[in-house]
Each structure stands twice: as structure tokens, then as C-alpha cells.
Chains A and B, each alone.
Chain A
């Protein structure tokens, strides 16, 4: 009791309301959803919340081919999208960093895609790539490049690429903004020193600019990997995971299972397995982040 009256308790007491709120809105739902993953909880039958089925949901998922395809597809989707966003975002940041007049306006314009809701972007791209009335096919017809419509949102290869394109269009600017912030904070002295020592621009970029930017890259990667792992709205609008599951990602599958089929217990089991994916990606990027910071600190 004396601890609570001591000055050492002040920070804890001040943080207590926030901790209680976090417990209420994060921990309790987490525990409840974790519990439901061991039940046959059906959304429209509240009594099933207490129908304990042990590991049945997890056992079924282990043998569920559709789930593991969606799991694998989500990993590929994250990997491809993150890398392309990083490369394009870095390019954009480097270009904008060179601009001396109108940079603020350009930075604002660059953020426009981020301001759209993913649902709206989904509708835009669905319309652009519609095989019958889409702008892309019409343009290709008019230019004489194709004589039969390309099924962008149907073909097993093109459909995931089209969705990735929409995701990249919307979120590349997240990388660009973060990397631009890194470039703007970059000290000028090492670069000038390197130039004096005779380094060419590629060598300056390779040995000074890029290592300095890597912590920013990994922070952006961590944030975006969590976002992309939860990709749902856009996929829901563009293909809803189809056709024939060709664009099914974890969240479209989980949402269909939980809300359309009302199998919330099974959907939560899927969620807990897929959390592993986010943990692995986050852990990997944090390790890389620490390594990059150590490198910057001159440890190597």
C-alpha cells in the first residue's frame, strides 16, 4: 500500500486509466475471440459461445486446402506488393527530393491516393479493368493492340496482378513519404565528403544514402506488412476472392466464414493462425531495423 503513496507509483497511477481502457478494448476482445476459436460459435446462435469443441477448428484448418492456399497466396501478395512499393516509393522520394520548386505541392499530390478509401479504389480499378466496359480494354482495342477482351479480373495470373496494382497505386506514397522524411533528415556532410573523395552518384547512393534510409525502409515495411496482411476491402470489391479462389486472401476467406457463414469460431481460429504470419513479418523487419541502426551507429 505504501508503494501507491510513494513517488515511484506516480507514473503507474497516471498510466492506469489508459491501461484499463486498453485492457477493455484490446485484451478482453482478444481473450474472447481466442476462446471462441475453441468453440463452435455461430454468430446467430449466441448459446454456441459455450459449445467447447477443443482443437476441432484448428484440426480442420490443418487439413483445409483452401485455407492454406489463401495463406500462401497472402504471403506471396505481401512479398510482391511490399517490395514493389518500396522500390517505387524510393524512386518517388528520390525524385521529389531533387525538386527545389513546388516540392510541397508535389508532396501533397503524392498523398492523394492514400486519401481514397480502399473500397473506392476497388471500384475504380474494377471499372478500369472490367473486361467488357473497362477503360483499359477499350483503350487496347482502339489502339489495335488486342482483338479479344482480356479478362483481367478472371485470369489466374492477371487477377492477382491487377489487385496488386490497385494496392500499390494506393499505398506506394506511404513508402515515398516515410523515405522522403529520411532523405530530408540525411546529413549533408558525409555525402559532400564522399564526393570530395571521388565517389560517383551511384556509390554515394549505395554506401551512404541507402544505409541511412534502411531504418525508414524497415519501419515502412513493418507498418505496410501489417496493412497488406489484412487486405480485404479492395479484394472484396474487385473479385471477392474469386473466381474459383484465385484471388482469395486470408481476410476474404475469414470474413466469408465469420459473417456470411456465421462460423465465428472457425473464423477466429483462422485469425489466430494468420496472426503468426504478421508476427513473423514484424519480427523479421524489427531484426533488420535493429541491424540497420547498429550499422548506422558505426558498429560495423
Chain B
């Protein structure tokens, strides 16, 4: 009781001091009395809690915020493209994401002009590489970071019968997989369809391309070479596709996984239908909520496996806020973007299980979880934080989504057996090469 009380007090002090420091000393949020800031924000339950802080920013600055659009990122992306096409950028701040941002050309300003280096240094470095085209390095204030790691069900790994059977079959102890080969071996071992599948993967859209890219990189390959030449039909790429095909053919994943997106996987894992899930941190809160998840009491966390190169693919991306070039009050917009990503905001996001983008939030939120008897979330944060050093975004080039849209149907075709992995990837590389040539990035 006393221990808990002390931890709570300690965590509260940490939060107050963090918040106080952010608001009082470090950043001047400015005064914009009578100004109405128009914003387009990503919608959805897990994202909207942060927006309860908007009245605080309004009180602080005297400005008003008008949310002109609130949609999921795919719809928002479409709407933003239509705004660009019709030349009607009448809003100032937009939700952004690493995967989408490079497409928007010069839509957004470089925030370095409006935010001091001292403030920028408070964000976690290393989640973005420098290989960017037509995109300022600081076009957005990062909100939360995604990087994939493993969720697993402890009850399966602690089952003596399964431990013995695994040891007998493979000669090693049953423990969360350290390599993608082990991952494949274990999901096939656990699979008992239709009651239990080893895992599931997002089988279409960027989810499929991204996971392929992650294993490809873990195997030592990459999507492009240094001259933007598509090279994902390499030996590493074929091995990555073969990995998906092997677990699909072994029925270790639901047959419908090639149509799954993140929500389908989340629902299946929470329903206790999967043994392991390689996924983003945002699901930690959902999986550990006893009212929504059957596996809440047995959730384990581990860092993502490594590939044949001994490295992690570390598929990563960041949700963020950007300020448009057309904005009539960029300082107000930048103030808003910083406010929604400052230490207090990051703390709010982290408490919901998201990976914060502010360095100071990591120790603070771990203390908060300890104080609130959520030791397993401390374990989760430790696992996810460890993998951030190897986090890599998709290629930061405007053509990524277009190239992604030739990759995933090809990988699907190989998985369901319509083409061999090599043929499928060769075809996709040929299409991707035309895309890069048309863009003038490749001769």
C-alpha cells in the first residue's frame, strides 16, 4: 500500500514537473487572440483522446480551433490529395504520417523555422533516416511512433505439454522467437485450426508491403539501392516471400489473412485465436484490457525477431502534425503542433499504450505504470523502446505508396500460389522501375 502510494506520488511529481517545464519555461506558445485555426486531424478512438487537450491550448493562446475534417488516415490522405489537386488548402494543421508525408511535395513547411532547436531536441531521434526526397526533415511534430514487436500468449509458452513436445521436436526450449526462422517454426507448431492459429499478417495494402519490407531488410535486402533502383527481387526478397508462403501453406495462419488489415488481426488476437502477433504498440492497451480481450491475463512482449542477416527489419513510422505552406498564421499552427506533441501530450498518449516521441516521457510513463499496478506495461515499453534503435521507416520517397501498390499484389500472388516468389517479385520490380523512371529518379 505504502509502496504504491509512494510510486503514485513520485509519478505524479514527474508528470507535474514535466508538464510544468514544458508549459512554463521551454516553449512560448504565443498569443493569438481572436484567431481561428483550421485543422484536419486523424479520427478514431485511439487518436481522439489527445484532442481533449485542445481547449487547454485555446485557453493558453486565446485562439480557437476548428476541426474541418476528422477521418482515418487513408481517407484523410485522399482528401488532402484532392485539396492539393483543386488548390484549396484552406487549413493550417494536418495529421501526417511517415508513409504518406513524402507524397505531398511542398504542401508543408519546414518547422525548424518556427520551433527552436532546443525544443526539437526533446523529440526521440533516430526514427527518421536522412534519405528523403522533396520533404523537409522537420515537416512535422511527431506524435507517436509505431514499430513492430511481438505479442505472445504466455499460457502457450508455459504449458508443460507444449514445452516438452517442442523440445522433443526441435531440440530447443520453447521461448519467444529470436529469429524469423524460429518464428515460422513456432507458428506452425502452435497452429491448431480452426481454434488456434500461429499468427496472422496484414495481407493487403501497405500492411503487406511493409511486413514484406521488414523481413526483406532483416534478411539483408532492401526495396531500393542508393540510386533508387528497385532491388527487392533479390535472394533476401524471395526468402521473405517464401516465409509468408510457408506459414500460409502450413495453415498456420487463417486462410483469409491475405484479406486482413490491422483491425482483423487485432480482433483475432484479442479473441484468443492467435498464438503470436507481430504488431504495433497501439494494440497493447486493447490486448491487456480484460473487458475487450480474452488474453488480457496472459500477454507477453518480446522484441521483433532478426532475419538471416542477424538484424531486425524494424518497420517503423510516426504519426505527426504538419503545418501547411498556405497557412495564414504559421506561428499559431506551429504552436498547436508543438502543444499536441509536448511532454504532457506525449504522456497522455503513452498512458494509452502508444510509443511517445519525447525522450523524457519514457521513464516518466514507466513510473506511472508501476504506480498504477501495470507492471506488464513497463515490460511492454522496455521491449518496444529497445527496438527503436533499429527502427527504419519505409523509403521516404514520394513514390513509396505507388511502389507499395505493386509489391503487395505480387506478394499475395506468390502466397496463394499463382506465381513463384521469384516471378512475382521480378514482375513487381519491373513495374516499380517504370514508376521510378517516370518520376525522374532513375534513368
Q: Residues on A close to B: CB < 8 A?
A: 40, 43-46, 130-133, 137, 141, 148-149, 151-154, 156, 238-240, 242-246, 256, 259-264
Partner of A148, one of B194, B197, B402: B194
Check B81–A43 contact: CB distance below 8 A.
yes
Specify which chain A residues have a CB less than 8 angstroms from the CB of B401 in the assembled complex. 260-262
Whether A45 touches B268, Cβ cut-off 8 Å, given contacts A153-B259, A264-B85, is: no
A89 to chain B, nearest CB (A): 30
Q: List 21 A-B contacts (CB under 8 A).
A: A40-B438, A43-B82, A45-B105, A46-B85, A130-B264, A131-B255, A131-B256, A137-B194, A148-B251, A149-B254, A149-B255, A153-B259, A238-B259, A242-B203, A242-B204, A243-B259, A244-B415, A259-B81, A262-B401, A262-B402, A263-B402
Whether A245 touches B82, Cβ cut-off 8 Å, given contacts A44-B105, A130-B256, A149-B255, is: no
B295 to chain A, nearest CB (A): 15
Partner of B193, one of A46, A148, A239: A148
Whether A153 touches B256, Cβ cut-off 8 Å, given contacts A44-B84, A240-B205, is: yes
B336 to chain A, nearest CB (A): 24
Specify which chain B residues have a CB less than 8 angstroms from the CB of A148 in the assembled complex. 193-194, 251
Among the stretches B40-48, B233-241, B339-347, B405-413, the one at the interface with A is: B405-413
Check B205–A44 contact: CB distance below 8 A.
no
Cα of A262 to Cα of B418 in the assembled complex, Å: 28
Whether A154 touches B259, Cβ cut-off 8 Å, given contacts A40-B438, A149-B254, is: yes
Chain B 394-423 against A: per-residue CB contact (8 Å), 1 yes, 0 no?
000010011001000100110110110000
Chain B 185-220 against A: per-residue CB contact (8 Å), 1 yes, 0 no?
000000001100100000111000000000000000
Interface residues of B in 239-258 (CB under 8 A from A): 251, 254-256, 258
B411 to chain A, nearest CB (A): 9
Check B256–A132 contact: CB distance below 8 A.
yes
- A150 to chain B: closest residue by CB: B255
Specify which chain A residues have a CB less than 8 angstroms from the CB of B85 in the assembled complex. 43-44, 46, 264
Interface residues of B in 63-83 (CB under 8 A from A): 78, 81-82
Interface centre among A130, A131, A132, A151 (most CB of B within 10 A): A132
Partner of A141, one of B194, B256, B259, B273: B194
Check A151–B256 contact: CB distance below 8 A.
yes
Cα of A246 to Cα of B405 in the assembled complex, Å: 15
Specify which chain A residues have a CB less than 8 angstroms from the CB of B416 in the assembled complex. 154, 156, 243-244, 246
Specify which chain A residues have a CB less than 8 angstroms from the CB of B254 in the assembled complex. 131-132, 149
- B418 to chain A: closest residue by CB: A244
B413 to chain A, nearest CB (A): 4
Cα of A149 to Cα of B409 in the assembled complex, Å: 23
Q: Knowing that A156-B416, A243-B415 are A-B contacts, what are 14 other residue pairs whose CB atoms are under 8 Å apart, sorted by A's residue number?
A: A43-B81, A44-B84, A133-B271, A141-B194, A242-B258, A243-B204, A243-B412, A244-B412, A244-B413, A244-B418, A245-B412, A245-B413, A259-B78, A262-B402
Q: From DSSP, what is the main secondary structure of chain A's interface residues?
A: loop
- A65 to chain B: closest residue by CB: B427
Specify which chain A residues have a CB less than 8 angstroms from the CB of B149 in the assembled complex. none
Cα of A251 to Cα of B81 in the assembled complex, Å: 19
Cα of A148 to Cα of B87 in the assembled complex, Å: 53
Would you call B98 an interface residue if the criterion is a C-beta within 8 Å of the partner chain's C-beta atoms?
Answer: no
The count of chain B contact residues (Cβ–Cβ below 8 Å) is 39
A226 to chain B, nearest CB (A): 24
Check A261–B256 contact: CB distance below 8 A.
no
Interface residues of B in 359-406 (CB under 8 A from A): 398, 401-402, 405
Partner of B84, one of A40, A43, A240, A260: A43
Chain B 264-286 against A: per-residue CB contact (8 Å), 1 yes, 0 no?
10011001010000000000000
B247 to chain A, nearest CB (A): 15
Cα of A153 to Cα of B255 in the assembled complex, Å: 9
A136 to chain B, nearest CB (A): 12
Check B258–A149 contact: CB distance below 8 A.
no
Would you call B104 an interface residue if the criterion is a C-beta within 8 Å of the partner chain's C-beta atoms?
Answer: yes
Whether A244 touches B409, Cβ cut-off 8 Å, given contacts A43-B82, A260-B401, A261-B402, is: yes
Specify which chain A residues have a CB less than 8 angstroms from the CB of B418 in the assembled complex. 244
Check A262–B81 contact: CB distance below 8 A.
yes
Whether A261 touches B405, Cβ cut-off 8 Å, given contacts A46-B84, A149-B254, A242-B258, is: yes
Cα of A266 to Cα of B99 in the assembled complex, Å: 23
Would you call B320 an interface residue if the criterion is a C-beta within 8 Å of the partner chain's C-beta atoms?
Answer: no
Would you call B354 an interface residue if the criterion is a C-beta within 8 Å of the partner chain's C-beta atoms?
Answer: no
Would you call B103 an interface residue if the criterion is a C-beta within 8 Å of the partner chain's C-beta atoms?
Answer: yes
B432 to chain A, nearest CB (A): 12
Check B259–A239 contact: CB distance below 8 A.
yes
Partner of A154, one of B103, B256, B409, B413: B256
Specify which chain A residues have a CB less than 8 angstroms from the CB of B255 in the assembled complex. 131, 149, 151, 154
Specify which chain B residues have a CB less than 8 angstroms from the CB of A152 in the assembled complex. 256
Partner of B412, one of A133, A141, A149, A242: A242
Check A44–B104 contact: CB distance below 8 A.
yes
B277 to chain A, nearest CB (A): 14
Check B256–A245 contact: CB distance below 8 A.
no
Cα of A133 to Cα of B105 in the assembled complex, Å: 42
B185 to chain A, nearest CB (A): 22
A238 to chain B, nearest CB (A): 8
Cα of A264 to Cα of B78 in the assembled complex, Å: 12
Check B81–A245 contact: CB distance below 8 A.
no
Cα of A240 to Cα of B405 in the assembled complex, Å: 12
